[in-house]
Amino acid sequence: MTKNLFKKKILHRAKYRGIKELDIIFYNFLLEYENKITDDELYELEGILNLPDSELLDIIYKKTNIPSNLKDGILKKILKNCYAED
């Protein structure tokens, strides 16, 4: 799979998770970062997208700790964007 095709696939998956709350969170994040995302962050994002929706929501709602392998990196940016005040 080419790099561009992989990026399109991951960005599409992020925007259309199937749970409205996650769709909104990822959509808002990608509005700001879609053109700035690095290849490494794209692979991290793929790992995040492989998490079950319930686990991801628990992380976002601070009901559970962030897994150590995701503490730094793109998840940190997603959460920062999620909690940002207008």
**Which residues, 6+ apart, have CB-to-CB distance to 66 below 8 Å?**
59, 75, 79
Axis crossing angle, helix 39-49 with helix 3-15, rounded to the nearest 10? 40
Which residues fall within 8 angstroms of residue 13, CB to CB, at 6 or more apart? 46, 49
Q: What is the pLDDT of residue 85?
A: 60
86, pLDDT greater than 80: no
pLDDT confidence of residue 70: 84
* Domains identified in the chain, total number: 1
- The model's pLDDT over 42-69, given as tens digits with 9 standing for 90+, comes to 999 999 999 999 999 999 999 999 888 8
| CATH number of the domain within which 61 lies | 1.10.150.250
Q: What is the pLDDT of residues 1-47, one digit of tens each?
A: 788 899 899 988 988 888 999 999 999 999 899 899 999 999 999 99
What is the extent of the structural domain holding 52?
3-83
Q: For residue 40, how many other CB atoms are within 10 A of its CB?
A: 10
Relative orientation angle of helices 20-33 and 74-83, to the nearest 10 degrees: 110
